[in-house]
Amino acid sequence: MAEKIEFKTEVNKLLDIVINSLYSEKYIFLRELISNASDALDKLKYWKLTNPELTTASGELRILITPDKENNTLTISDNGIGMNRDDLINHIGTIAKSGTSEFLQNAKDNESAIDLIGKFGVGFYSAFMVAEKVEILTRRADTKQAYLWVSNGTNGFEISEAEKESNGTDIKLYLKEDAKDFTDTIYLRNIIHTYSEHIDYPIVLNLGEAGEETVNRAAALWTRNKADITEKQYKDFYQHVTKNFDDPWMTLHFKAEGSLEYTGLLFIPTKAPYDLFQPDRLTGIKLYVNKVFISDKVEGLMPAYLRFVKGVIDSADLPLNISREMFQQNALIAKIRQGVVSRLFKELKKKAQNEDDYEIFWKAFGIAFKEGIYEDFANREEVAGLSRFYSTKSVDKLISLDQYIERMTAEQKEIYYITGDDAQTLFCNPMLDAFKQKGIEVLLLTDPIDEFWTQTLLSYKGHELKHISQAKIDLSFDRNEVKADDEGLKLLMEKMGEWFKEDAGKVEATDKLTKSPASLTVEDGQMSIHLERLMRNHQQKTNFDSTRILLINPYHPLIIKLSELIKQEEKKDEVKSAAELILAQAKIAEGEAVSNPGAFSEQLCSFILKACGE
Ligand code: ADP
């Protein structure tokens, strides 16, 4: 008796996208199904090793492609792990992976759908681009019971018990009228050559009476000689392991020799994935032991800040039958990680010589990469050296810390930075006035993560890293301007201290400002205003405010004027009102909100009116 099961809503939506918008790249279904078959063979290989009692599975592992011109069908078979009834329902009938809703949101247009297909476990559904009906006949390697799954891609699917001689899966596609080409052996051979050449198992074309023909070389790509691999083959393999559709930005293929031998074929994508910052996305590396796929979840294999690196690591020196969990603590894994990380750094350094190309990498992965400065204690200088920043002297071209050091001024010892929400706002921060005046470069750091690594990386190549508010450098410069008179200034600052108790713990005069009358900062060693704001926004902060200091520029005409007026009792209200505007302005320059926007704008209007002569 066949059991009828409806597709989940999201599957219906997905099928709709797959069937209706992926029309231009129909052949990708074959790559997807071959890829699934290859995964199923990988799983069986591992299963057999760890469960020696499993005897059902036999025969050479392979993928068989059978076109049938007469009946207009195409069957993709594998003698891999197979599926039982639950597997069929859980893996094929639903989209189990998180991120489905993101897929559906993002895949509004054709191009992004193609880009995203495969990443969310939608690979199988691509069969419906070419098939009006799909049958899956499958038997799991640990049972004799087979199942038949049938669907036309619109009204759910049916499952019934069935007979199958051996373990594995046959996926039979009843081709649509316009997909008849896929029974043509020349065409099929061509597609397999182009897209699945790197597959580790023989892909055999069933030519009926003419026999069988193995189409690919069936040698795991990473085991082959570099010189024999074309860029195209690397790219296809990259797309196979990552399920991405872009080009690899970097390809690194190496053999490590010595006491511990392993091979790595690693890639950095060109584009950042949507889930770069999802906490469960910790690794992108598939671990093989002597060509047997073990796991793609071995956490210790790659540090989390390099989670965007994808590919394969294969070592014959690892124990094969320890459990996947055990790998986490394995000392050899830690050793491999060390070796791989240093190779990656070396390669990145090479790539960094081409600044424009490196910028592509930095813009996609820089934020994640910088986590390494505080996570990877041993390598933090390396990571910092490979990091890129904007600065007051380079607002739209990224620079390195080494470039920064090269152009430090003669008296400068420290590396200066300022943190905030965006580079343009930061660039106009009044606290930078004196630095600009003296030609001292300041890094403009705008990622939330910058607040954290700057607390750990205390120096780089012997130069201390300092927030500008903590700069130990003489920032005074010759001023031949008029200064507010001492007595008036003192009184003004006293009054401001009283009025603005809430906003500033202290009011101090400074000679670091030029164009601005005032600026806000914090006491040495305290949490910066920007970090406080970040934490406030994430509700992580309640009441541990740093002591804010309102810095006053005694050379500014406004301050000079107010220092005069404050001495006249009858002008007190006017001065207070003007001082309030100065405070608000200082807050805005820091990226803070004014306490009472309504009152602020009223006050501002009345001042403007006065200025207009009203
Ligand atoms: P993905 O391959 O990204 O997981 P698919 O939609 O292509 O997504 O496949 C969903 C799941 O169905 C696979 O993860 C696997 O568990 C199962 N599956 C698909 N094809 C096969 C097959 N040939 N043999 C065994 N299981 C398969």
CATH number for the domain whose boundaries are 486-611: 1.20.120.790
Residue of the CA atom closest to atom 8 of ligand 1: 121
The alpha carbon of 114 and the centre of ligand 1 are apart by a number of angstroms equal to 18
pTM, whole model, 2 decimals?
A: 0.73
User: What confidence tens digit (pLDDT) does each residue in 146-190 have?
Assistant: 999 999 988 889 999 999 999 999 999 999 999 999 999 999 998
Domains of the chain, by residue range, sit at: 3-218, 222-355, 370-470, 486-611
Smallest Cα–Cα separation from 45: which of 294, 323, 216, 285?
294
* 216 and 96 Cβ atoms separated by less than 8 Å: no
* Whole-number Å distance between alpha carbons of 524 and 470: 6
Instruction: Give the lowest-confidence range in 50-54, 302-306, 343-347.
Output: 50-54
Q: Write the pLDDT tens digit of every residue in 277-327.
A: 776 666 789 888 878 777 888 878 999 999 999 999 999 888 765 555 566
Q: Domain 3-218 carries which CATH code?
A: 3.30.565.10
Average pLDDT over residues 463-492: 87
Percent of the chain's residues with pLDDT above 70: 90
Q: Pick from 28, 39, 88 the residue to mutate for probing ligand 1's pocket: most ligand atoms within 8 Å of its CB.
A: 39
Architecture of domain 370-470: 3-Layer(aba) Sandwich (3.40)
CA distance 486 to 484: 6
Residues 6 or more apart in contact with residue 178 via CB below 8 angstroms: none
Pairwise pLDDT comparison (125 vs 350), residue with the higher score? 350
Q: Classify 222-355 by CATH class.
A: alpha beta
Q: What angle do CA 548, 554, 559 make, to 5 degrees?
A: 90
Q: Which ligand 1 atom is at minimum distance from the Cα of 120?
A: 3
Residue 91 CA, ligand 1 centroid: distance in Å: 6
User: Residue 185 in contact with residue 207, Cβ under 8 Å?
Assistant: yes
* Per-position DSSP letters for 45-87, written without gaps between them: HHHHHH-TT--S--S---EEEEEETTTTEEEEEE-SS---HHH
At residue 207, the pLDDT reads: 93
Give residue 124 CA to ligand 1 midpoint distance, Å.
7
Closest CA to 154 of 44, 20, 30, 45: 20
User: What is the residue-averaged pLDDT of the chain?
Assistant: 87
222-355 and 370-470 agree in CATH topology: no
Atom number in ligand 1 closest to CA 82:
25
Residue 216 has pLDDT above 60, yes or no: yes
Round to whole Å and give the CA distance between 196 and 202: 10
Q: Tell me the CA–centroid distance for residue 602 and ligand 1, in Å.
A: 64
- Convert the pLDDT of each residue in 110-123 to its tens digit: 555 555 554 554 57
